[in-house]
Amino acid sequence: MANFIKGQYNLQNMLCDVLFIHIPRLISKSLTINLIPIGIFSIADFISNRGISTKILHMGIEQELNAKFDVAGFIKENNISIICLDLHWHHSAHVTLKEAERIKGMNPDCKIVLGGNTSSFFSKEILQEYSFIDYIVRGDGEIPLFELVKQLKGNSDLSKVPNLSWREGCQIIQNNQTFVADQNLMNNLSFTNFSLLQNYERYLNYFLDEIIHNKRVIYFNCGRGCPVNCSFCAGSNISQKIINNRIRPELMSYWAVIRELKNMKQFGINCWYTCFDPYPHSDYYATLFKKIRDNDIKLNLYFECWSLPSKEFIDEFSGTFLEDSTLIISPETGSNKVRNKNKGYFYSNKQLLSILNYIEEKGVNCILSFAAGLPFETKEDIFRTFVLIHHIKRNYKKIEFTFSSIALEPASPIYLKPSLFEVISERSSFDAFCSKDTDLGYHTDNLTKEEINAAIELMKIEANSEDNMYSPFNILKSRMVKNEPLNFPEILQDISKFHKH
């Protein structure tokens, strides 16, 4: 706690058996891989409770605090023998492998373990092509990593380690994926043992500085998995089956969630962000929120809804959390047809507007998230998104917007079967995700990448523009009326010219 109060950052000598390292990647203002996967905290806590000394290091934070910090040299100096790197988000594949190679070059005797969604999905390809990676833990990592460390320190029978991919001579062995964290195990995991992270104060303050202002935010989900299949999502039911061998979502018990929230408060966290809503029509959260009130836990909550929230949910939400709390809803498109074809949980524009009325009535903050370039989406469908944004902008006071493109994610339904979704994939192997460039990785039968990106830029302008003849909505509307083509890149260029002058 002293560290928290004084805000000191320092890197002590770290004598530990297992070091987790997060290699960040800052791609653009809106896309960074700066967060450590939440599951790293639970694995690190799990193995350290079983007698394995463990630390977590965020390479970006260390370099921010000491520009000369060199992770490979640090490992050598501290003689650490097992290095765990998360290769969860594909965007960081390139930088993670580059750093792994440097670490191995300087520390030939250390063992490098990868884990996380992307490395789980491409485990065979990675082990075949990158000799400096020793092991990959596929899917949930708690028991497999514990068993791996035990074997490495003992008699090295790797065939006993569940979920492990490894090399025997030139052969890649994929042990059975028998470990899937269930409710019982999850209830006993801690996601909030931040003291395992070196200089955790800086990490907890990252959002204070960068994203959600004036808040110490922490991400935490009350379970794992998803029952539905959104076309673009690599956390969908079908993807979870492939990556985690998880068939259905698993939810933590209320008492375990309450314990974690109380722990958060001890670290001065005043904002909980969650993106886990597998059963939107159940009363799981309504009941949890009542218990949060009973326990007098005061927090802001940012809640990503996987469908539309019900009125009961909104009542409980607004009656439980502090005033900056926000609901994030992702209609993605203004076209009912496109939403129906792409989202696991469908709702119509009419249902959306009706619940927005209630959200406004209750004075709850709400952010709507939109995209462009979804499978089956035409330019006219994108115009419907502008119509919806325009309508909401004019009729609702508190609703905000966010816009982003949806990249091709490995193991998502569109990655697995692009032609079924009329998508032209530009990435079908691990190497394709390893390039330094990160773009959408696909285009569709109806839209080029340039058109998708321009449409998103126009949406951002629309959200902030006055309702005059130069607004993207009005320009698109007039083109529709005159039956002129909706050329998003050209319109974007014209509007930019207008802004310049």
* Positions in the binding site for ligand B12 (CB under 6 A): 31-35, 37-40, 42-43, 84-86, 88-91, 113-118, 137, 140-142, 145, 181, 219, 221, 224, 226, 233-235, 275, 409-410, 412
Answer yes or no whether residue 46 interacts with ligand SF4 by CB under 6 A: no
Q: Which stretch binds ligand SF4 (CB under 6 A): 10-18, 175-183, 228-236, 422-430?
A: 228-236
Tokens of 116: 């996380």
Residue type, 158: L
Rank residues 230 and 459 by Cβ distance to ligand SF4 and give the closer one. 230
CA–CA gap between residue 8 and residue 187 (Å, rounded): 33
Q: Which of residues 208-227 bind ligand SF4 (CB under 6 A)?
A: 226
CA–CA gap between residue 257 and residue 271 (Å, rounded): 15
Answer yes or no whether residue 489 interacts with ligand SF4 by CB under 6 A: no
The nearest distance, CB 29 to ligand B12, in angstroms, is: 11
Answer yes or no whether residue 230 interacts with ligand SF4 by CB under 6 A: yes
The half-sphere exposure of 46 on its side-chain side, counting CA atoms within 13 A, is 21
Answer yes or no whether residue 421 interacts with ligand SF4 by CB under 6 A: no
Please, what is the end-to-end C-alpha distance for the chain in angstroms?
54
Rank residues 126 and 234 by Cβ distance to ligand B12 and give the closer one. 234
The nearest distance, CB 282 to ligand SF4, in angstroms, is: 14
- DSSP letter string over 213-266? TT--EEE--SEE--SS--TT-TTSHHHHHHHH---S-EE--HHHHHHHHHHHHH
Rank residues 100 and 399 by Cβ distance to ligand B12 and give the closer one. 100
Q: Which listed option, ligand SF4, ligand B12, none, makes contact with residue 228 (CB within 5 to 8 Å by class)?
A: ligand SF4
Residues 6+ apart with CB under 8 A from 99: 21, 23, 59, 71, 72, 85
Q: Which listed option, ligand SF4, ligand B12, none, makes contact with residue 344 (CB within 5 to 8 Å by class)?
A: ligand SF4
Give the containing element (helix H, strand E) for 342: helix 336-342
Among 38, 172, 228, 297, binds ligand SF4 (CB under 6 A): 228
Rank residues 162 and 235 by Cβ distance to ligand SF4 and give the closer one. 235
Rank residues 236 and 385 by Cβ distance to ligand SF4 and give the closer one. 236
The nearest distance, CB 473 to ligand B12, in angstroms, is: 26
CA of 195: how far to CAs of 1, 253, 404, in Å? Answer: 9, 24, 34
Residue pointed to by tokens 């896309």: 31
Rank residues 328 and 359 by Cβ distance to ligand SF4 and give the closer one. 328
Task: Determine contact, residues 57/20, Cβ cutoff 8 Å.
Answer: yes
Q: Which listed option, ligand SF4, ligand B12, none, makes contact with residue 84 (CB within 5 to 8 Å by class)?
A: ligand B12
Answer yes or no whether residue 181 interacts with ligand SF4 by CB under 6 A: no
Looking at residue 190, the DSSP 8-state letter turns out to be -
Helices of type H across 112-253: 117-121, 123-129, 142-153, 183-187, 200-204, 206-210, 237-244
Rank residues 174 and 369 by Cβ distance to ligand SF4 and give the closer one. 369
Rank residues 212 and 480 by Cβ distance to ligand B12 and give the closer one. 212
Question: Residue 284: helix, strand or coil by DSSP?
Answer: helix
Question: Residue 276: helix, strand or coil by DSSP?
Answer: coil
CA–CA gap between residue 392 and residue 353 (Å, rounded): 8
The nearest distance, CB 87 to ligand B12, in angstroms, is: 7
Q: Which residues bind ligand SF4 (CB under 6 A)?
A: 226, 228-230, 233, 235-236, 306, 344
